Amino acid sequence: MDVADVLLELLRVYSPSGSESNLEPVMRRLRQELGYDELTIDSAGNYLFSRGSGDRVILLAGHVDTIPGEIEAVRRGDVIRGRGAVDAKGPFAAMLFAGSKARIGQGYKLVVGGLVDEEGEGSGAKELLESGFKADHIVIGEPTGTTGVAISYRGSLTFTIYATARGGHSSAPYMGESALERLLDAINTLRSIFNGRSYDEPTSAVTMISAGDWPTKLPERAEAVVNVRFPPSVETRSVIERIETVCSLYNCSFSIRDVTEPFETSLSQPVPRALIRAILKTGKRPRVVKKTGSSDMNVLWKLTRSIAACGPGNSLLAHTNEEEVSVDDLRTACSVYIGAVEELQSMGRRAT
Amino acid sequence: MASVSCPVCEAGVEVPDDALEGELFECSSCGAHLEFYLEAGKPRLKLAEEVSEDWGE
């Protein structure tokens, strides 16, 4: 069995967020075939494979849920297609395969986590945090083209904005009051504030909107969902304050649906260094990248700041119907993960 | 561990003895990302490629 077989096994089971338990029989078979000491499934449904029994824990954390939309799992030559091939069963398959091959010395334990609900509310990573799980080093399995080492993720704030008005007849809108028009004015102002065009600037996107119940009636109620993304240099509090100001200006209200804090680590931390050294040892040139989105890293850094993301696959294909990854990329990723796990242990030995 | 001068702010950056050519370090003084290389056998640092942006979560 090689890493391509592992990925195909995972892709053949459709597992959008909420259906990750479909993977249990495959996971149990993979534990046996790859020779892990244990596989535990925690209360959130996270799959935790482990080798070794030391106190110092290295976690390779991927996720096994995907966005909805099945894509048939197929291999054509060097390319494997399927829902999650990029985001993120490809990185997880490489982690699982690499974790079974890496040398685990005395005093160390390697855990390979197939976390759940990363594409949803992140309940898998949150459960790991709340359960008291400890890790000294964490590699997050997300697509970075294998040679990218992601040290930073933006924060995300999703809120619903509401407007109400007395309504009226559309034949004389100047006599009435439309909740939808008030909402659109507020949204336009928000978009002019969070109008970034790059990682370092806050951006906004209106993702849902609803209003009106009759073609000739001015809406009395309107609401929209807005998602704001912001870099580590911007505080969550200041984003909320600006939303409050705009809502107050247009007599709207809002409720926060979800907040994910931004996070940035340093190249001086052991995991970024271990990944960079492991990439160099494969003969490739490492790149430091920052991600415009968010991931389980935004939650798991609370366990350790020795954390970074790296994985096979072109992130531009994530969440598209063109998800595919090359076997060559998967194999390079395995070498990088094995190298990083062994580097981390060497660094630990040198430090003691 | 060698102390190598940061090409941006000239502060000393600690570079481990086992550093690989092409390895990236961060200057704790100015935050610049620096690439390690050897010049006539001597350890040196130069400004690394700019951090790139990557879409996705």
- The CATH number of residue A181's host domain is 3.30.70.360
Going by pLDDT thresholds of 50, 70 and 90, the confidence category of residue B51 is: confident
The two beta strands, B52-54 and A287-291, are parallel
Please check whether residue A50 touches B, CB under 8 A.
no
Q: Which two tokens stand for residue A207?
A: 């993702």
CB contact under 8 A, B54 and A144: yes
B28 domain residue, yes or no? yes
**Chain B residues within 8 A of A262 when measuring between CB atoms:** none
Q: Any idea what the CATH number is for the domain that residue A70 is in?
A: 3.40.630.10
Q: What is the pLDDT of residues A261-286, one digit of tens each?
A: 999 999 999 999 999 999 999 999 99
Q: Any idea what the CATH number is for the domain that residue B15 is in?
A: 2.20.28
Residues A61 and A85 in one domain: yes
Q: Which two tokens stand for residue A46?
A: 């996270």
* Angstroms from A272 CA to nearest CA on chain B: 9
The pLDDT of residue A352 is 59
The pLDDT of residue B1 is 84
The whole-angstrom separation of Cα A332 and Cα A64 is: 20
Residues A48 and A134 in one domain: yes
Residue A345's CB: how many other CB atoms inside 10 A?
23
Q: Which strand (E) or helix (H) includes residue A203?
A: strand A203-211
Write the residue in A143, A289, A292 that is nearest to B51 by C-beta.
Answer: A289
B57 domain residue, yes or no? no
Going by pLDDT thresholds of 50, 70 and 90, the confidence category of residue B57 is: low
Residue B54 reports pLDDT greater than 80: no
CB contact under 8 A, B57 and A295: yes
**Nearest chain A residue (CA) to B50:** A288
The whole domain housing B34 covers: 2-47
**Chain B residues within 8 A of A297 when measuring between CB atoms:** none
B34 domain residue, yes or no? yes
Domain count, chain A: 2
Residues A67 and A19 in one domain: yes
The whole domain housing A204 covers: 155-260
Please check whether residue A265 touches B, CB under 8 A.
no
CB contact under 8 A, A199 and B53: yes
* Angstroms from B36 CA to nearest CA on chain A: 12
B54 domain residue, yes or no? no
Given A9, A20, A65, A119, which residue is catalytic?
A65
The two beta strands, A137-140 and A307-309, are parallel
First to last CA, chain B: 37
Residues A281 and A255 in one domain: no
Q: What is the pLDDT of residues A44-102, one digit of tens each?
A: 999 999 999 999 999 999 999 999 999 999 999 999 999 999 999 999 999 999 999 99
Q: Which two tokens stand for residue A99?
A: 């974790």
**Nearest chain B residue (CA) to A318:** B56
**Nearest chain A residue (CA) to B55:** A292
The pLDDT of residue A263 is 94
Q: Which two tokens stand for residue A155?
A: 């924060």
The pLDDT of residue A308 is 97
Q: From chain B, which residues contact A within 8 Å (Cβ)?
A: 20-26, 28, 33, 48-49, 51-57
Write the residue in B24, B53, B57 that is nearest to A290 by C-beta.
Answer: B53
The whole-angstrom separation of Cα A41 and Cα A49 is: 9
**Nearest chain A residue (CA) to B53:** A290
Please check whether residue A150 touches B, CB under 8 A.
yes
Let me know if A121 is a catalytic residue. Answer: no
CB contact under 8 A, A290 and B56: no
Domain count, chain B: 1
Helix (H, G, I), strand (E, B) or coil at A145: coil
Q: Which residues lie closer than 8 Å to A250 by C-beta, 6 or more apart? A: A163, A182, A183, A185, A186, A189
The pLDDT of residue B24 is 96
Residue A254's CB: how many other CB atoms inside 10 A?
20
Q: What is the pLDDT of residues B32-48, one digit of tens each?
A: 999 999 999 999 999 99
* Angstroms from A286 CA to nearest CA on chain B: 8
Largest CA distance in chain B: 43
Let me know if A118 is a catalytic residue. Answer: yes
Instruction: State the helix-helix crossing angle for A89-101 and A3-11, rounded to 10 degrees.
Output: 140
3-state SS of chain A: helix, strand, coil percent to 5?
35, 30, 35
Given A9, A117, A118, A323, which residue is catalytic?
A118
B26 domain residue, yes or no? yes
The whole-angstrom separation of Cα A54 and Cα A104 is: 9
Q: Return the number of CB contacts < 8 Å for A and B.
A: 72
**Chain B residues within 8 A of A153 when measuring between CB atoms:** 57
What is the number of H-type helices and E-type strands within chain A? 9, 18
Q: Phi and psi of A88, rounded to 5°?
A: -145, 35
The pLDDT of residue B56 is 61
Q: Note down pLDDT in tens along chain A; length 352 residues.
A: 999 999 999 999 999 999 999 999 999 999 999 999 999 999 999 999 999 999 999 999 999 999 999 999 999 999 999 999 999 999 999 999 999 999 999 999 999 999 999 998 889 999 999 999 999 999 999 999 999 999 999 999 999 999 999 999 999 999 999 999 999 999 999 999 999 998 899 999 999 999 999 999 999 999 999 999 999 999 999 999 999 999 999 999 999 998 999 999 999 999 999 999 999 999 999 999 998 888 899 999 999 999 999 999 998 999 899 999 999 999 999 999 999 999 999 998 776 5
The whole-angstrom separation of Cα A337 and Cα A341 is: 6
**Chain A residues within 8 A of B24 when measuring between CB atoms:** 267, 276, 286, 288
The pLDDT of residue B55 is 66
Q: Which two tokens stand for residue A186?
A: 């507020």
The whole-angstrom separation of Cα B9 and Cα A36 is: 48
Residue A110's CB: how many other CB atoms inside 10 A?
26
Residues A188 and A317 in one domain: no
Single residue among A238, A260, A282 that ends a domain in this structure = A260
The whole-angstrom separation of Cα A16 and Cα B51 is: 32
The pLDDT of residue A294 is 86
Q: What mean pLDDT is reported for chain A? A: 96
Please check whether residue A142 touches B, CB under 8 A.
yes
* Angstroms from A136 CA to nearest CA on chain B: 21
Its pTM stands at 0.89
Helix (H, G, I), strand (E, B) or coil at B22: coil
CB contact under 8 A, B22 and A286: yes
- Computed on alpha carbons and rounded to an integer, the radius of gyration of chain A in Å comes to 23
